[in-house]
Every structure is written in C-alpha cells, then in structure tokens.
Amino acid sequence: MGRLFGTDGVRGVANADLTAELALGLSVAAAHVLAEAGTFEGHRPTAVVGRDPRASGEFLEAAVVAGLASAGVDVLRVGVLPTPAVAYLTGALGADIGVMLSASHNAMPDNGVKFFARGGHKLADELEDRIETVYEQHRTGEPWNRPTGAGVGRVTDYTEGFDRYVAHLIGVLPNRLDGLKVVLDEAHGAAARVSPEAFTRAGAEVVTIGAAPDGLNINDGCGSTHLDLLRAAVVEHGADLGIAHDGDADRCLAVDAAGEEVDGDQILAVLALAMREAGQLRGNTVVGTVMSNLGFKIAMEREGIQLVQTAVGDRYVLESMKAEGFALGGEQSGHVIVLDHATTGDGTLTGLMLAARVAATGRSLAELAGVMQRLPQVLVNVPDVDKSRVNTSSELATAVVEAERELGSTGRVLLRQSGTEPLVRVMVEAADIEQARAIAGRLADVVKSALG
C-alpha cells in the first residue's frame, strides 16, 4: 500500500480515491491509535469535526463522525469552518482529536481528511504511519474491538464554534482596522462567513467576493490561486488592500491598492518587522522553506533578521518553530503561522495582522511590502511522472548541475515532488525572467523524459 498521508493529510478525488469507507476506517483507526498512545487515558474522549463547503464534505463528515462515535469517541460537530478554526477549537475545548474535511486549494471534486492531536497540532508522522498500519490490518479482516451500550460515542452540534473563533481572532489583534477599506475573496470556501465577520468587527469597511459557497464552486476561478478578480475589485472599489483565502482558509495572499500581488514571502517580511518592533519575534528569527524567494532572504539579512529554511510544507515549518521556540514562519504560498495565536497556518488571522500593520503605520501595503524585492521565480508543474525518482535520476541530476552552472550566484534551481498531487515541481530563480523561463522549460522536458 502506498502511503495514504501526504504532507497535508489524506487527499484524493472524493468518492473515488477518498471514499466513505476509507474516511470511516481511518477515523476508527485514529481513535484506536490515540487510545494506544495514552491520549484518552482516564477520561471519555472527545473529537471536534469540521469541514469546508464541498458537497462531498457532507457524506465524508457523516462517515468520520460515524467512525469516531463507533470507536467510543464523543463528537462535537462544528460544521463549515476554516481549518485553523477546527485546530483552534480542538485546543480551546480540550478535545483529544480534531478532524478537518477539506482539500484546501484543490478543485471541487477533491477532498481530504486532516487529523489534529490534542492542543490543535498536526499529528506526528509516526502517529500517521501507525494509523495507516492499523487501518490496513483491520481493512483486511482483523475485527475491531467495538464498545456497546453507553460506551458508544455521542454526537453534538457545537454551534458556538463560529463566535468563539471570531472572538479569538479579534482578541489577538494588536490594533483595530478603523479607516481601512478591505476587499476579501473567500474562494467560496470555509471562511465565507468567518472572515468578513472578523474584519467587520475589527473596524474595517469590508467588500466581499467569492463568499457564496454552494458546495460546487469552491476555488472556482477565485481565491488565493486566482487573484484576477481580487485585483480588479480592489481597484474598482478604491480599497486599501485585498485579502484572498483558499478553500479551507489556512492561507492568505494579498493585493495592494494598485492591484499588485503581495505574496507569502512579502507578508512574512512585513509581519517579521512588525513583530520585532513589538518585541514578539523570538530569536530574531523567521522560518521559511526552501521555496522562499531569494529576495526574502536578502531582505531579512539586510534587516538583521535570521531566516531558517525547512522542507516545503507548513508542517515542517511548524516543526522547526516548535523545536526552536520561534514565533513566526510560513510559505510563499501564503501559509503563515503566528505560533503565539495559532497552531497552524491561519489565513484570516494573517490577513487581519497584515491589515493591522497598514492601519498602525499609516503606510500603504505596497510601501510596507517594498521591504523586499522579489527575484523572478518560474515554477513549472510536470504531471504524470514517477515523482518518487526525482532525487535518484542521474539524467536529471546532470541537467540540474548544468542549470546551476549557467545561473551562477544570481539564481538557483529546486526540483521536488508534490506532497499532495502526482507532480514534480520545477522551480528556477534568476535575476532575468527570460533566463529563468528558458531553464525551467528545459528542466521540465528532462523531468518528462527521465521520469515519464
């Protein structure tokens, strides 16, 4: 069996790869594994279960709830809320496990199951591996030890989750947003109600787009993966800035008043300086990934802030932050983790903090983001190849060495397999965009021939 868990839970086409049976089985396995690990010791276990608005989330939620309750876990069903809200509520309510049903920025037919441990943190790799092993053992015939009678889990709709999460967001803001006009693109996703409510309560004048989820339109031409609608809306409404979320709202990208994109690296740069000023940037360090733009690294060096780089994936950023006690980290894609206030990337919190910095300084977002200059970066996704061989192909290794020689010290090359999709990602950074495009195209061709 190939590994079910990627860098962000179990993900696939709903009702094809990710079936009700799989969701139910994984939930039962997770309950048993956490019980084995002593998580439930001495008390009746509780789980928080939430989802994004995808149509498939309805039957998958039912399967997960059934699996947990059948394993003796009481379930608090919080409905449609962002991933970071489910993580927050898992911690705030003292639950033993959290489950989020979402495929984040993926297209509507996909869905995913993501588990959180007590406190709202992502499960450790070894626990995910154990869940897979236990799931497979029982899928092939070993019977579960099932509780009966009063031992079965009870299911409750926890309707207070929305207000509790919004109150948390407002409570951690350093200042209000009065006087700011903000356009929010909710990607027809999980933050369609939460984000506008939070920004409005914080004092901003809010214009919303992509805030009418119908179960089928999530991420469809809108949100953080499609910024054109937001760019146009910001300019049309004369807004100070725009904020775009993805389907489960664990990420945030921004647009300045002129409609120019402000990416995750730039957001991190702005927040790093704000947090240092407030004495909150522990270790004078920000954590990024190997995909962080070279311009971000240069800017942090110039400002006297250390940059620690990890493998791609917000879980690895988070692991580094927790291990070293750092307060801020994230990815170019807009996953930003402010560890004092969230256990995972939180797009609504990130957007609020970015807007708060604009409000507090009186400077435009463009001026604030200008602390770093992005070097041209070209990313090519190569589908339908054996991504597992990306680091072992000699043909590919030779091509990379040649590309690096050509770029010299003015750029870099990065090849990696996607953690969530059957792709190899080719990234080339260079001072000249045409050179970056040419080299990226050439490497993508080699990936196809070598790994196809």
Which residues have a Cβ under 8 Å from the Cβ of 60 and sit 6 or more positions away?
14, 18, 20, 23, 51, 101, 111, 113
Name the residue type at position 23. Answer: A
Q: Which residue has the tokens 């019977």?
A: 143
| Residue in 95, 90, 58 with CA at minimum distance from that of residue 74 | 95
Q: How far is CA 322 from the centre of its chain?
A: 17
- Three-state DSSP state, 110: strand
Cβ pair 436, 374 in contact under 8 A: no
The CB density around residue 74, as the number of other CB atoms within 10 Å, is 17
Residue 104's region, left for phi above 0, alpha for psi from -120 to 50, else beta, is left
| Residue in 111, 114, 115, 113 with CA at minimum distance from that of residue 218 | 111
DSSP letter at 18 equals B
Q: Cα(99)–Cα(1) distance, rounded to whole angstroms?
A: 23
Known binding residue 246? Answer is yes
Q: Cα(257)–Cα(266) distance, rounded to whole angstroms?
A: 15
Q: Cα(78)–Cα(89) distance, rounded to whole angstroms?
A: 9
Bridge partners of 51, per DSSP, are: 80, 101
Q: Cα(60)–Cα(78) distance, rounded to whole angstroms?
A: 14
Known binding residue 248? Answer is yes
Q: Cα(440)–Cα(413) distance, rounded to whole angstroms?
A: 8
Q: Cα(103)–Cα(115) distance, rounded to whole angstroms?
A: 13
Cβ pair 329, 408 in contact under 8 A: no
Active site residue 104: yes
Active-site hit among 104, 195, 224, 333: 104
Known binding residue 240? Answer is no
Known binding residue 333? Answer is no
Q: Which residues are annotated as a binding site?
A: 104, 246, 248, 250
Q: Which residues are annotated as a binding site for Mg(2+)?
A: 104, 246, 248, 250
Which residues are annotated as catalytic?
104
